[in-house]
């Protein structure tokens, strides 16, 4: 090969970790960690619950124009729980909602908010007092990271 090192010297691809992991069929070095390619994940919200709502968060493919602080303020203003909410956490992600018609795909801030006591999400579901109607366990507001505009909010029990 044109760029081969001197005989007996290792190339970066041939480090012992790489050789061992490839020999074991792993396809990537054994010391690979999720920290190397962080997946935007809200600690306060179940990824499974988001997926059931058609929402998926992926690592961002570009930078935000809107700051995290500005997105958090926009999320609080857009919150159906009103000013009683507080920010739990926020993460920048490539956001998609495939249940929305048409589907939404955008670089967004996902802002998890506290739910004040007694809050009930607006619903067209069962009447109040029905056991099927449960208070949500989390509230997430999605803010466009390019414009600061409200995209949507989700509340899941």
pLDDT in tens, 60-70: 999 999 999 99
Contacts 24+ apart (CB under 8 A), 48-54: 49/138, 49/156, 50/140, 50/154, 50/156, 52/156, 53/97, 53/99, 53/154, 53/156, 54/97, 54/98, 54/99, 54/100
The pLDDT score that the predictor gives to residue 14 is: 36
**In the chain, domain spans:** 12-36, 42-156
Q: What is the pLDDT of residue 137?
A: 74
- Site of tokens 């466009």: 144
> Does the structure show a pLDDT above 70 at 118?
yes
Average pLDDT over residues 38-47: 76
Q: What is the mean pLDDT of residues 7-33?
A: 37
pLDDT bracket for residue 88 (50, 70, 90): very high
Distances (CA, A) of 12 to 25, 37, 152: 18, 19, 45
pLDDT interval class at 19 (50, 70, 90): very low
Name the more confident of 121 and 52: 52
Residue 124 pLDDT = 52
Contacts of 49 (CB under 8 A, 6+ apart): 138, 156
**If DSSP codes are grouped into helix, strand and coil, which group holds residue 156?**
strand
pLDDT band at 98 (very low <50, low <70, confident <90, very high): very high
Q: Residue 13, SS3?
A: helix
Report the C-alpha gap between 83 and 156 in whole angstroms: 19
Q: What is the side-by-side order of every strand in the sheet holding 55-58?
A: 55-58, 87-97, 104-113, 138-144, 150-156
């Amino acid at each position: 090969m044109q760029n081969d090192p001197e005989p007996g010297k290792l190339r970066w691809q041939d480090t012992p970790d790489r050789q061992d992991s490839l020999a074991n069929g792993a396809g990537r070095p054994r010391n690979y960690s999720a920290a190397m390619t962080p997946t935007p994940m809200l600690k306060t919200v179940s990824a499974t619950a988001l997926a059931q709502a058609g929402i998926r968060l992926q690592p961002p493919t570009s930078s935000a124009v809107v700051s995290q602080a500005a997105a958090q303020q926009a999320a609080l203003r857009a919150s159906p729980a009103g000013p009683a909410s507080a920010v739990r956490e926020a993460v920048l992600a490539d956001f998609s909602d495939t249940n929305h018609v048409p589907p939404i795909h955008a670089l967004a801030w996902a802002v998890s908010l506290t739910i004040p006591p007694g809050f009930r999400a607006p619903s067209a579901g069962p009447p109040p007092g029905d056991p099927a109607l449960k208070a949500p366990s989390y509230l997430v507001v999605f803010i466009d990271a390019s414009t600061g505009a409200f995209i949507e909010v989700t509340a899941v029990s």
